[in-house]
Amino acid sequence: MSNRLTITSLELEGFRVFKGRVGFNFIDGINIIHGPIGSGKSSIIQAIEFALYGNQLEARERVAKLSDLIN
């Protein structure tokens, strides 16, 4: 049995650029998140960080408030 954390899916609603509900499925191994500027690539990573740690390092560095992240 492996002791590693595996994220298999992510659902977002009202987080940063994602106004409505959107879901992502991840496969075992390496996943690539790509898209045009402003499409939400960084928001996906920030949402995972927020879910795991209850805060967001980048947001703290920019002195963002929780209200800046959630619509």
What percent of the chain is modeled with pLDDT above 90? 54
Average pLDDT, integer, range 15-26: 93
What are the tokens at 48? 């995972």
Amino acid 5: pLDDT = 84
What are the tokens at 28? 């075992």
Residues 46-58 have pLDDT tens digits of 999 888 888 766 5
Q: pTM score > 0.75 for this model? A: no
Q: Which of 21, 11, 15 is nearest to 71 (CA)?
A: 15
Domain ranges, ordered by start, for the chain: 9-69
Higher pLDDT, 70 or 62: 70
What are the tokens at 53? 């740690």
Task: With a cut of 90, say whether residue 13 has pLDDT above it.
Answer: yes
What are the tokens at 10? 């992510």
